[in-house]
Chains A and B, each alone.
Chain A
Amino acid sequence: MLSHLILGASSSLYLGDMLFIAISFIVLMALIAKVAWNPVTKMMGERADKIANDIDSAKKSRQEATDLAEQRREALSHSRSEASDIVADAKQSGEKQRTTIVADAQNEATQYKQNARKDIEQERQDALKNVQADVADISVEIASKIIKKQLDPEGQQALINSYIEGLGKHES
């Protein structure tokens, strides 16, 4: 054995020591492996996995959040344009309604005016016609009365009186 060379000066070779050291070291290593090394390294591995997973899921959540924000922004701008459309529509239809109402009113007014004018004309014609008829009647009556009571003064007086009476009657 090589250690002979080094320890040649020593009184004897402690081969037992070598075995003792080797065996106790191996036992120590086995115990440490069982008690600490395996559980701790396992725990460290688990932690590394967990951290990696957390990082992944955080990345995913952030992506989702960004997507949602994007969607929200889109929806917002969409609804804004929709609202402005609605307002514009309402304005337009209101304008249209206003013009129709005004036009209708104008038409109606013209109609009324025309009707009134026509009525007035009709009435005037009627009145004129009545007056003409009356004048004719009266003239005929006067004429007949004049012819009837021409002879005597009494008769003339009576005629005048009756005429006046007739006038007053006619007047009333």
Chain B
Amino acid sequence: MGDPVPTVKFLGLTFNIANDISILLTCLIVFMFVFLLSRHLALKPKGGQNVLEWLIEFTNGIVKGSIKGNDAGHFGLYAFTLFLFIFVANQLGLFLHVQVGQYTYVKSPTADPIVTLTLSFMTVALAHAAGVQKKGMKGYLKEYTSPFLVFLPINIFEQFTDFLTLGLRLFGNIFAGEMLLSKVATLATGGGSWFSYVYSFPIEFLWQGFSVFIGSVQAFVFVTLTSVYISQKVSPEE
């Protein structure tokens, strides 16, 4: 995070150009992926449609694992998009680092807390909105005093911890991965001789593979926790 970032002020809002480019790129990759797989849909699926349906079944499975009943159907699309977006965003920085001058323009957008916290904020907002829609404002507010009135501060506090942990977990994992990758890269180039490339290559190689794994797991965890938080809000009181 110590790196300088290219910022632009527009309408009083501050934009981090590097983040925005990475996000756009991620959206583009996700969209192209889904778009190309969803051509030639048929009742008897083949090729890309199979992959797409497998992914949909996968994210639907995550959602249905925690949200019971008919409510699960409403969040399938959100979970699907979220999973693909976070997955691609996590992997993006592993093989693509575009640095122009002192600024890194393309990296994992999820290595920035503002991005992960925004995603987590969206999830929490969706969960609360779904809760209000499902139970009405009265039922929604009543949840905070369950099981007793004493729990009110704990319940309120929990909303913030949910939001923070969800975003910071993702950020921490991806940021650490990227950080270590760049450190290993510095080890290779900073060694002063060709030999440093020899021993840093397997380290970089291993860590990159591990980061791919971490990125996939974190995408899965994020979507799972998203559906858990939503289910907490929409599930009927016991």
Check if A10 is an interface residue, CB within 8 A of chain B. yes
Min C-beta distance of B36 to chain A, whole Å: 10
Chain B residue at smallest Cβ distance from A37: B77
Taking a contact as CB atoms under 8 Å apart, the answer to whether A21 and B115 are in contact is yes
Checking A17, A31, A43, A44 against B15 with a beta-carbon cut-off of 8 angstroms, the contacting residue is A17
Is B122 within 8 A of A22, CB to CB?
yes
Q: Is the CB of B81 within 8 A of A25?
A: yes
CA distance in complex: A50, B44 (Å): 11
Per the bound structure, the CA–CA distance linking A136 and B43 in Å amounts to 132
How many angstroms from the CA of A37 to the CA of B118 in the assembled complex? 24
Q: How many residues of B contact A (CB 8 A)?
A: 48
Nearest CB of chain B from residue A43's CB, rounded to whole Å: 5
**Are A41 and B20 in contact, with the CB atoms below 8 A?**
no
Q: Which of A11-58 contact B (CB under 8 A)?
A: 12-22, 24-25, 27-29, 31-33, 35-37, 39-41, 43-44, 46-47, 50
Q: Number of A residues contacting the other chain (C-beta, 8 Å)?
A: 35
Asked if B194 is at the interface of the complex by the 8 Å CB criterion, the answer is no
A-B contact pairs, 7 of them (CB 8 A): A2-B163, A17-B19, A22-B122, A32-B30, A32-B81, A36-B38, A37-B56
The residues of B with any CB-CB pair to A shorter than 8 Å are: 1, 7-8, 10, 13-16, 19-20, 23-24, 27, 30-31, 34-35, 37-38, 41-43, 45, 49, 52-53, 56, 76-78, 80-81, 84-85, 109, 112-115, 117-119, 121-122, 160, 163-164, 168
| 9 further interface pairs, Cβ-Cβ under 8 Å (given A32-B84, A36-B38) | A16-B16, A17-B112, A20-B23, A21-B19, A28-B27, A28-B31, A35-B31, A35-B34, A44-B53
